Structures are given as C-alpha cells and as structure tokens.
Amino acid sequence: MRLLESFRAFEPDELSFVEGFKVGELSVQAGSSIFLEGHNSPHLYTVLDGWTMRYKTLENGKRQVLNFPLRGDLLGLQNVLFDTMLHSVEALTEVRLCVFQREGIWKLFEKHAGLAYDLTWMAAREESILAETLAAVGQMPARERLAFAIIHLFDRARRAGMTKGKTMLTPLTQEHLADAMGLSLVHANKTLQKLKATGWVAWKGQEITLLDERKLLELSGYERPSNNRRPFI
C-alpha cells in the first residue's frame, strides 16, 4: 500500500515519512482520465490496483500508447519535475491510487536519500522500458512487435502478481495494442490472428494465455530484465 513498497522493505523512519507524505487513496472509474497532457495537478500517484494507460495524442489525431502502468508504478512524476504533464494517463479499469502531495517531494529529497534514490531508479527504469519499446517499434516487423508487446505485458503483470500460471486477465483491446506498437488496428488484428495460429499464445476475450513462452521470447527478442531493485548502499 505504499510508495515503492514492491521493491524493498522500508526503514522505519522511511515508513513513517511515506505515511505522512501520503494524502489518501483515490478510486477512479474505468475510462476516466487521471492526468491530461499539458495540464498539471497537485498530486503524485502510485497505482495500488487496476490497469492504466499512458499515452500521447498527436496533431494528426493518432495516439501513441507509451505503456500500461500497473500496481507499484508511479504516475505523474512529470507533474512534479516539469510542472506539466507531457502525456495523458487514463484508467482502463477501475483503479485505486495512492495519493501524494507533490510538495512533499522536497522533503523526500532532503531527508530520505534512500527514497530519493528509489525515485531516480524508477524514472531511469521507465526510460529503459521506453527505449526497448522504441527499438521494437522502430526496427521490428508486426509479428515480432506484437509478440514483444504481449511478452512484455505479461512479464509486468506477473511481477505485479496479476497472473495465474500461464494466463492473465486484461482490459486491453486490440486497438490499445495497435496504438502501443505503432500499427493500424486492422493490421494488428490480422497479425494477431497469425500469431494465435502458431499456438504459442491464445487471446480470447479478456484472457491472454502464453502457451509457449519460450517461442514467443525468441520471436520477440525480449530479454527479461532483472527488475529487482538494487538496494540503497
């Protein structure tokens, strides 16, 4: 229930600080916005539960999905650092958020180096994930891209404890996937069908099943990152 809790145990003083930093909890309906590109908000959130989507809207009307933050992920750091969100965030399911006051960030840096380090670590991790996605979108054909997206998604969901064996439940539509991987909806659909035909992955309704994870990994060129937090000191 606490900032970054998923990465390491807190020191007692950190724990009490985080509890003070925390303003409360917020429940957001599926489909509503959490942040809007170009705007700002007095808050910083972490996801406690549910599916969210970070995306940018372009002038030509298209949409690029950046990723799908899950439990433990930070939302709105740009808010704090830049005073403006450079992308939007939307709830894809009902989402529970842990709310922090953005002003608290100063004290966090001044008094809790360990937490500040965690924050930097998370920002850098986001960057590296985007880099990987960019490489996939820029350099891989549709089949590989979609395999990458599915594997990546599943991996993150697994870390968040949202999978059961080889299957997971998601609110994602093919359009979400297409917008995330820079494909048109139609082409994503046709390519997904071919992927399903290999028997390596099944996607029916809300349920995605990895029938042959190894093959998918191979296809996607995805190397599972060791996302375990490196302890401070």
Partner DNA sequence: CGTTACCTTGAATCTCCTCAATACACGTGG
Partner DNA sequence: CCACGTGTATTGAGGAGATTCAAGGTAACG
Euclidean distance between CA atoms 90 and 39, whole angstroms: 14
CA distance to 51, 146, 148, 213, 231, per residue, from 224 (Å):
21, 16, 11, 12, 20
- Give least dist CB 205 to a second copy, A: 26
Can you tell me which of 89, 97, 98, 119 binds a second copy, judged by CB under 8 A?
A: 119
Can you tell me which of 82, 161, 187, 207 binds a second copy, judged by CB under 8 A?
A: 82
| 167 touches, from DNA, a second copy, none (C-beta below 5 to 8 Å by class) | none
For residue 25, the one-letter residue type is: E
| 11 touches, from a second copy, DNA, none (C-beta below 5 to 8 Å by class) | none
Can you tell me which of 39, 106, 194, 199 binds a second copy, judged by CB under 8 A?
A: 106
- Give least dist CB 124 to a second copy, A: 5
| Residues 91 and 29 sit within 8 Å (Cβ to Cβ) | yes
Asked if 36 interacts with a second copy (CB under 8 A), we say: no
| 63 touches, from a second copy, DNA, none (C-beta below 5 to 8 Å by class) | a second copy
Asked if 7 interacts with a second copy (CB under 8 A), we say: no
Task: Give which of 72, 54, 50, 78 is closest to 64, Cα–Cα.
Answer: 54
Judged by CB, which is closer to a second copy: 1, or 134? 134
Burial-class residue 59 by CB neighbours within 10 Å (0-12, 13-18, 19+). Answer: exposed
Asked if 66 interacts with a second copy (CB under 8 A), we say: yes
Judged by CB, which is closer to DNA: 109, or 203? 203
- Give least dist CB 148 to DNA, A: 12
How many residues bind a second copy (CB under 8 A)? The answer is 50
Residues that bind DNA (CB under 7 A): 141-143, 173-175, 182-193, 205
Task: Give which of 143, 34, 191, 186 is closest to 97, Cα–Cα.
Answer: 34
Judged by CB, which is closer to DNA: 115, or 183? 183
Task: Give which of 87, 88, 6, 94 is closest to 46, Cα–Cα.
Answer: 6
Judged by CB, which is closer to a second copy: 108, or 168? 108
Asked if 126 interacts with a second copy (CB under 8 A), we say: yes
Q: What are phi and psi of 169, to 5 degrees?
A: -105, 135
Judged by CB, which is closer to a second copy: 83, or 197? 83
Can you tell me which of 94, 132, 175, 213 binds a second copy, judged by CB under 8 A?
A: 132
For residue 97, the one-letter residue type is: L
The label of the residue with tokens 């998370």 reads 122
Q: What are phi and psi of 28, to 5 degrees?
A: -125, 135
